[in-house]
Structure 1
Amino acid sequence: MAGERGAFELPCFESATSIFLSLGYIGLAVPSSGVFARLTELELNRITIHGACTLGDAVSSPCCPVLQNLVISDSCHLGNFTIHSESLLEMKLMYLRGLQQLTVMAPALKLLDVRDCFAPKFLSYNQPVVSISAPQLLTLLWRDFYDPRFMELGKMENLEWLGTYPLMVYGQDEDNIINRFCTRLLQRFELIQNLILMLVYLPEDLTNQNYLMEQHITRLPYITFMVMDIVASGHSFGACSFHVLRMCTSLRKLSLIVCVTRTYIPVEEETVCPSSCACHQPPNWKTDEFVLSCLREVEIHNLRGTEHEAALVKRLFDWATVLEEVTITLHCSVATNVAKEFCQRLQSFSRPGIRMEGSHFS
């Protein structure tokens, strides 16, 4: 336990401009007096807070008058974190176990990234409370629990980028709770220029799973650029892509990225699911028509050269009537001959006036 191992007392480095600490969960006691007069960057990793002075006090303007970038990750026992900073431009809070109250007053803040600090595995019996005042915020990446009854994000009239908690495409009833984190946040906004949306398939048989997209995603903000990250785990993602895109008729640019993360499954272990898999349902994405009348540019990255990927690209050409530019990148695991054949097939879907480029990522 950190308490048994003692605590590291952070000296007040008056001349330091940047500090990075990773303490292996040894306790950290922050100074109760003194000023980090030149500190602009502070990153704290794997810490446990000890002592009477709170971390929020130590990183607020009286102690850190020129702090611009703050990162706190994989840490314990922050409890209540309150920061008042006139200088802060970027703040990232990731995997903070035990965080119960977050208060941010940062009039110059441009980027706020909050990830898995309040999600169920970290929650105690108390409802977390959040209050954010950051009127100049441009980018909000809220990949966490969100409930507007207890979480006030304040006015964000300058917001340009929004990233949400991942959406489970298939799952059980408990996954509906997770999906609400995303949908509640999306419902808060009428217009967002740029949206980052992640859709997740678990790497397992979907026979006994429920299709969740139609239950939750019924409306999206007005957006012009969307980054759609898809953790496909070998499954077809045409149906979920269709469901999202038909609500994005204002879209001008689409970046679709097929993701493989260590949280789910390594790419070398992925297998393409059989045609009988539930991921091919509902099948309306293969036949239904709608028009993406503003979509001019499409990027698709990390394709594996599968039949369902080719089918989705073909449908994109059908939906996007004014498409001008398409960029396709295949994953490095795809054999060169397969990549060449796949790109030639995609070229056959194209129309005059569309510039299409393909590459083999390595």
Structure 2
Amino acid sequence: MSTEQSGGCGGGGEVAAKRAKASDDESGAGGEDRLSALPEDVLVLILLRLHTWEAARTSLLSHRWRHVWTLLPKLSLCFFPESRRLCDALYASEVPLRYLLIGAPDVSPQSLAAWLLVAARRVFGELLLTNLFPERSVEDSDDEEEATEIGAFEMPCFEKATSISLDLGFLAISVPPNGVFARLTELSLSNVRFHGPGDLGDAVSSPRCPCLQMLTVRNTRGLDRINIDSESLRILELKNPRGLRQLTVVAPALRYLSVMQCFLDDQNQPIPIVNISAPQLEFLSWVDTYDPSSVHLGNMEHLQTLETFFFVYGPHGFTHNRACLMLLPRFKAIENLTLSLAYLLEETTCSSGCICDQPTDWKTEELSLNHLQELEIGEFRASEHEVAFVKRLLNWATVLKMMTVTFNHSITENKAKELFQIFRSLSKPGVCMKIYIYRKFRKVLYAPEN
């Protein structure tokens, strides 16, 4: 082992070079390489002090070092050159990996398929794989989608991994039709085009995924239906699975459910069919269409927190608002309600029957919110109607314990102080009130002088 071979391998490489040089000075050209003679587990301990890429470069030192780096229990490979050579070397090893991070720009389908095979063979802990392609988006043309699906490949079955996070940059994969993800507890799929006959719902249900506790699906294409039957699932997050028309979830242990923009962008498509059976659910975030004739949420008597949103101004019969108004009466007793007041980005001319012209009976109407304990309001602009509405809420919520208001960045500190005093005077004794304002575009907790 020579100095030229070891140089450039980080701190560990320099040490190896110096030791080898000292040995050569003592014994001549045929001196013994004492470092390479160390036991393999000791060499692994040395490489643990290096970054993954530096450790991989030690494979160039000699035949003895060629595969030592592949024995490391944790590997982070980002923006790596010669990926095929590294991939082949990792596949040849049988040492379990507790952690594998792979991140590279514009990975080809062939390369991605090869890396997933390595991960399925080696990872018995956590896998994170990200295809960095900022120029591709879910709004790509149908021609590109068709071209992408030509290169679609089947995702392998991960029999040993416990946590998987895949961000594929909208490359196309098909779900394996069989096999058991025996140890998997967490699965996150982002920016994926699903292709082929495989069924995601079948793959993540209890018979094939008996330990799954957390499932996240974001920004996907190709999923027209998701049918999940899981005894173990506790957290489910669905955001913008474009084209989804049917959602069925049977999850007796589910505690947290978030459904966001799953059906909003497809209003011209057939009415979505949703059936949720989650009797232990405690948290529900529903930012989507809702019609009780087609969306069945089942028995949720343990629900504690509900999140949804409402457009303050918009056309008469606005789909988003109609969904909110039908969803809220569905729950008679909610301890924590988060209602986000949303505003259209562009000003619109009021049409006939606009909400602006509706009777203002709500100012005198009496509602019973005698179970509401926590109230959170975001992007509060302090318009006359908003302030009046909050005043009514404080009157209706007789057992309120916590109130959090985040003002829009346009609200000055003096205005925030004025409103804080108004809300404090109207709230019941013992209500904890938190007010957030923006200072130089940073959200900070407002602390009144008195």
DSSP-derived class of the 1:331 partner:
strand
Contact 2:233–2:253 (8 Å) recurs in 1 = yes
> Measured at CA, do residues 16 and 173 of structure 1 come closer, stay the same or move farther in structure 2, by a change above 3 Å?
same
> Measured at CA, do residues 188 and 311 of structure 1 come closer, stay the same or move farther in structure 2, by a change above 3 Å?
same
- State the alpha-carbon separation in 2 of the partners of residues 145 and 213 from structure 1: 25
Task: Please list the CA deviations of residues 177-204 of structure 1 after superposition, one character each: whole Å capped at 9, or x if unmatched.
Answer: 3212112111011111111111124466
Match of 1:129 in 2: 273
Which has the larger displacement, 229-238 or 131-140? Answer: 229-238
- State the alpha-carbon separation in 2 of the partners of residues 65 and 20 from structure 1: 18
Match of 2:8 in 1: none
Regions of 4+ moved over 6 Å: 204-207, 215-218
Task: Please list the CA deviations of residues 290-346 of structure 1 after superposition, one character each: whole Å capped at 9, or x if unmatched.
Answer: xxxxxxxxxxxxx64143x333222212212424654444423289xxx99x833xx
Contact 1:230–1:258 (8 Å) recurs in 2 = yes
Match of 2:371 in 1: 223
- The aligned runs of 1:224-239 (5 Å cut-off) are 224-232=372-380, 237-239=386-388
Match of 1:2 in 2: 145
- Please point out which of 276, 287, 294 is paired with 1:150: 294
CA RMSD of aligned residues (A): 2.9
Task: Please list the CA deviations of residues 154-185 of structure 1 after superposition, one character each: whole Å capped at 9, or x if unmatched.
Answer: 10111111112x1122333253x321211211
- Please point out which of 291, 300, 321 is paired with 1:179: 321
- State the alpha-carbon separation in 1 of the partners of residues 361 and 277 from structure 2: 32
- State the alpha-carbon separation in 1 of the partners of residues 448 and 155 from structure 2: 56
Larger relative contact order (CA 8 Å, sep ≥ 6): 1
Contact 1:77–1:97 (8 Å) recurs in 2 = yes
> Measured at CA, do residues 216 and 191 of structure 1 come closer, stay the same or move farther in structure 2, by a change above 3 Å?
same
1:317 aligns with 2:424: yes
Q: How many residues align?
A: 296
Task: From the two aligned structures, give the one with the greater helix fraction.
Answer: 2
Contact 2:237–2:259 (8 Å) recurs in 1 = yes
- Cα shift at 1:25: 1.7
- The aligned runs of 1:293-304 (5 Å cut-off) are 304=412
Match of 1:305 in 2: 413
- Cα shift at 1:75: 0.7
Match of 2:23 in 1: none
1:191 aligns with 2:298: no
> Measured at CA, do residues 160 and 333 of structure 1 come closer, stay the same or move farther in structure 2, by a change above 3 Å?
same
> 5+ unaligned residues in a row in structure 1: which ranges?
260-266, 271-302, 348-362
- State the alpha-carbon separation in 2 of the partners of residues 171 and 318 from structure 1: 32
- Cα shift at 1:58: 1.0
Match of 2:198 in 1: 53
- Cα shift at 1:229: 2.7
Q: Supply the AA of the counterpart residue of 2:376.
A: M
Which has the larger displacement, 29-38 or 230-239? Answer: 230-239
- The aligned runs of 1:1-362 (5 Å cut-off) are 1-5=144-148, 6-119=151-264, 121-164=265-308, 166-175=309-318, 177-202=319-344, 210-211=355-356, 219=367, 221-232=369-380, 237-258=386-407, 267=409, 270=410, 304-307=412-415, 309-323=416-430, 325-333=432-440, 343-344=448-449, 347=450
> Measured at CA, do residues 238 and 148 of structure 1 come closer, stay the same or move farther in structure 2, by a change above 3 Å?
same
> 5+ unaligned residues in a row in structure 2: which ranges?
1-143
- State the alpha-carbon separation in 2 of the partners of residues 23 and 220 from structure 1: 48
- State the alpha-carbon separation in 1 of the partners of residues 388 and 370 from structure 2: 21
- Cα shift at 1:134: 0.7
- Cα shift at 1:216: 8.6
- State the alpha-carbon separation in 1 of the partners of residues 359 and 297 from structure 2: 26
Task: Please list the CA deviations of residues 40-79 of structure 1 after superposition, one character each: whole Å capped at 9, or x if unmatched.
Answer: 0000001111111211111111111101000000111211
> Measured at CA, do residues 50 and 194 of structure 1 come closer, stay the same or move farther in structure 2, by a change above 3 Å?
same
Task: Please list the CA deviations of residues 214-264 of structure 1 after superposition, one character each: whole Å capped at 9, or x if unmatched.
Answer: 5899756543323323324685641332243333233222122236xxxxx
TM-score of the superposition, structure 1-length normalised? Answer: 0.73
Contact 1:84–1:104 (8 Å) recurs in 2 = yes
TM-score of the superposition, structure 2-length normalised? Answer: 0.60
Contact 2:403–2:431 (8 Å) recurs in 1 = no
